[in-house]
Chains A and B, each alone.
Chain A
């Protein structure tokens, strides 16, 4: 027990919490302040929690950066030419020289720091209390409604849904006059709504609320109008009837926020085989910045989905993490092989 408390995991975990708690809390308070000011300004226009993602991403980034930075500079075997590294390498006989435990400790510390953000900051920034699954209906091979093709059939989710969101792209009108295209929407052959559905501009969003209905096939029929409509992937979304707790959604987002940190530390660990700590820290910081604020990783889209009240479990965000996880795993394996070969 005592040995475990003095192992790389426990030591790094404590170090990360000591280094990152205050900066994360400060960043969270600053974000809350700025977001509150912006929300006050926007009060007349309406709620737009999706626009507040920046202010949840900032404390997450601070937590990840301080945890990763403090761990990388703390553990002597993480980078080349560190004082005390020889002692650590003698004691840590594993192929990664304790770096695997260090990475694990950083991820655990970040998750612990992010829990209060999910519990307190997300609701304070306006994240909906419940989330609904959003099912993107796959389009047929030629997803166009025009004078030549007036009917589209899309497979439904087969689960109870309460809303349909249509956002097609529009082409220039066929013929001399621009007449909005009107659609009939049917689920399993039954009209879904009595509301008129018409489109005249590209990217126009139409929401069709209806009583909870489970359907296996959705039909979109062009009734009249001269505007050809194109329904690419994502243009037809069914909103599930089941409401999931927003808190669970927030926790899933915090799990996804660990992926950029894992990737950054894994690549940092690989660089550390032959690079000194300033280089390693720069690589880690840049990778975290690009993934968490630059929108390259799953973190940004996950936060956006949470703030818009969409259930994370239903989308494709978790599968989108596989490339990052794969790259990180390969980097860790390479680091292991290179460290074993070099004896460091």
Chain B
């Protein structure tokens, strides 16, 4: 009986001392709370996302994705996939003249969301910037009228701005060319949702971007792999042995059966 109060007092003193020596930041406390919230809520959040994908609309799916990513703020691949899905979703497209306006609005929302996610991305912030550089090009390829609504220089200027920021964060000659190598990851996100057409759009854009790869031998080989995947997705008979052996294509392999 006498030991318990002593032990409790010692534990409280240790906690107090730890708090004084290393005061927790709001981010640490938030992350600590998230440890408990994640296992309790993520399974339901995922099933709700799947339900929204099957029976809801794209805005509902976007909202569900945001709820998941509130719990997983450093999951940059998730941000990239969901933002691209929202920006390029045809289900949200309007008819007639409003179509381009809606496409522009979706792009702005997706970019703003990715911008917001940068603060919590940590060392993977450059990946978000590469996606942000990639996204306007994808949107313009899907909706050519969108180019007129973008600032001077169009999608290329926006991409340059984000890539310059990425280069400032990670001074590396490969940052600019790595954007093409994110293509399979983003395309896999669309294929997972059964959206073959958007996946082809992403891969075609990645093929176009491959001209920025400095090593031309590498660029040629990479382009060849992407072309093989595109032909397969278009229903042609293609030997995919080289694709399956290429680790950079790993995100796509499960969808190439």
Contact A304 B51 (CB under 8 A): yes
* Range of interface residues on A (Cβ < 8 Å): 35 or more
Q: Which of A16-24, A37-45, A89-97, A270-278 contacts B (4 or more CB under 8 A)?
A: A37-45
Contacts of A53 in B (CB 8 A): 48
Q: Which of B14-22, B60-68, B129-137 contacts A (4 or more CB under 8 A)?
A: B60-68
Chain B, interface size category, equals 35 or more
**Is B124 in the interface zone, CB < 8 Å from A?**
no
B62 / chain A contacts, CB cutoff of 8 Å: 42, 45, 48
Contacting residues, chain A, for B196 (C-beta < 8 A): 170, 172, 178, 200-202
Q: A44-B108, A51-B67, A205-B91 are in contact. Are A176 and B235 (CB under 8 A)?
A: yes
Question: A residues 197-211 with Cβ under 8 Å of B?
Answer: 200-206
Binary flags per residue of B180-217, CB closer than 8 Å to A gives 1, else 0:
00000000000001111110100000000000000000
How many angstroms from the CA of A54 to the CA of B46 in the assembled complex? 12
| A51 close to B194 (CB less than 8 A) | no
| A256 to B67 Cα, complex, angstroms | 26
Is the pair A50, B52 in contact by a Cβ cutoff of 8 Å? Answer: yes
A202 to chain B: closest residue by CB: B194
Enumerate B30-86 residues with CB–CB distance to A below 8 Å: 44, 47-48, 51-57, 59-60, 62-64, 66-67, 86
In the complex, which residues of chain B have a beta carbon less than 8 angstroms from the beta carbon of A48? 56-57, 59-60, 62-63
Considering the complex, which residues of chain A in the window 41-65 have a beta carbon less than 8 Å from any beta carbon of chain B?
Answer: 41-42, 44-48, 50-51, 53-54
- Residue A195 CB within 8 A of the other chain: yes
Which residues of chain B have C-beta atoms less than 8 A from A294's C-beta? Answer: 44
Provide the residues of chain A in CB contact with B53, threshold 8 Å.
Answer: 203
Please determine whether A173 and B66 come into contact, CB atoms closer than 8 angstroms. no
Tell whether, in the assembled complex, residue B235 and residue A50 are in contact, meaning their CB atoms are under 8 Å apart: no
Whether B109 sits at the interface, judged by CB under 8 Å, is yes
Contacting B at CB under 8 A, from A289-304, are 293-295, 304
CB distance from A78 to the nearest CB of B (A): 28
In the complex, A5 has a CB within 8 A of chain B: no
With a cutoff of 8 Å between Cβ atoms, the chain A residues found around residue B235 in the complex are 172-178, 226
User: Does residue A344 face the partner (Cβ distance < 8 Å to B)?
Assistant: no
Complex: A45 Cα to B60 Cα, angstroms: 10
Q: Which residues of B contact A177 (CB under 8 A)?
A: 234-235
- Among A38, A180, A195, the most chain B Cβ lie within 10 Å of the Cβ of A38
CA distance A54 to B51 in the complex (A): 13
From known contacts A195-B95, A200-B196, A204-B91, infer whether A38 and B63 are also in contact, taking CB-CB under 8 Å.
Answer: yes
Interfacial chain B residues near A295, Cβ < 8 Å: 44, 47
A205 touching B57, Cβ below 8 Å: yes
Q: With A and B bound together, what is the CA distance between A172 and B67 in angstroms?
A: 32
Given A45-B109, A54-B48, A205-B57, decide whether A173 and B234 contact each other with a Cβ distance below 8 A. yes
CB distance from B120 to the nearest CB of A (A): 14
B112 interface residue per 8 A CB criterion: yes
A42 contact from B48, B59, B200, Cβ within 8 A? B59
Partner of A45, one of B52, B59, B193, B198: B59
- Any chain A CB within 8 A of the CB of B246? no
Consensus secondary structure, chain A interface = loop
A53 and chain B: residue at smallest CB distance? B48
Cβ contact within 8 Å between A201 and B47:
no
Q: Which residues of A contact B47 (CB under 8 A)?
A: 295
A201–B64 touching, CB < 8 Å:
no
Instruction: Write the nearest CB–CB distance from B214 to chain A, whole angstroms.
Output: 33
Find out whether the CB atom of B56 lies under 8 angstroms from the CB atom of A50: yes
Residues of chain B within 8 A of A169, CB atoms compared = 194
CA A205 to CA B62, docked complex, whole Å: 15
A44 to B59, CA, bound (A): 10
B59 touches A38 (CB 8 A): no
Q: How far is the CA of A202 from the CA of B197 in the complex (A)?
A: 10
The reply on B143 being an interface residue by CB < 8 A is no
Q: Is the CB of A203 within 8 A of B194?
A: yes
Cβ contact within 8 Å between A45 and B197: no
Chain A positions within 8 Å of B66 at CB level: 38, 41-42
Chain A CB within 8 A of B115 CB: no
Which residues of B, 148-180, contact A by the 8 Å Cβ criterion? none
B105 at the interface (CB under 8 A from A): yes
Q: Which residues of B contact A178 (CB under 8 A)?
A: 196-197, 200, 233-235
Report whether B197 and A176 are in contact in the complex, using a CB–CB cutoff of 8 Å: no
Per the bound structure, the CA–CA distance linking A226 and B196 in Å amounts to 13
Name 26 A/B residue pairs within 8 A (Cβ), A-sorted. A38-B67, A44-B105, A45-B59, A45-B109, A48-B57, A48-B62, A50-B56, A50-B60, A51-B48, A51-B60, A54-B48, A54-B67, A169-B194, A170-B194, A172-B196, A173-B234, A174-B235, A176-B234, A178-B233, A178-B235, A195-B95, A201-B195, A201-B198, A203-B53, A204-B90, A205-B91
Closest 9 A/B residue pairs (Cβ): A51-B63, A202-B194, A48-B63, A48-B60, A46-B59, A173-B235, A48-B59, A50-B60, A201-B195
Which A residues form the contact surface with B (CB < 8 A)? 38, 41-42, 44-48, 50-51, 53-54, 169-170, 172-178, 180, 195, 200-206, 226, 234, 293-295, 304, 308
Contacts beyond the supplied A41-B66, A200-B196: 4 A-B pairs with Cβ under 8 Å: A45-B62, A47-B59, A48-B60, A203-B54
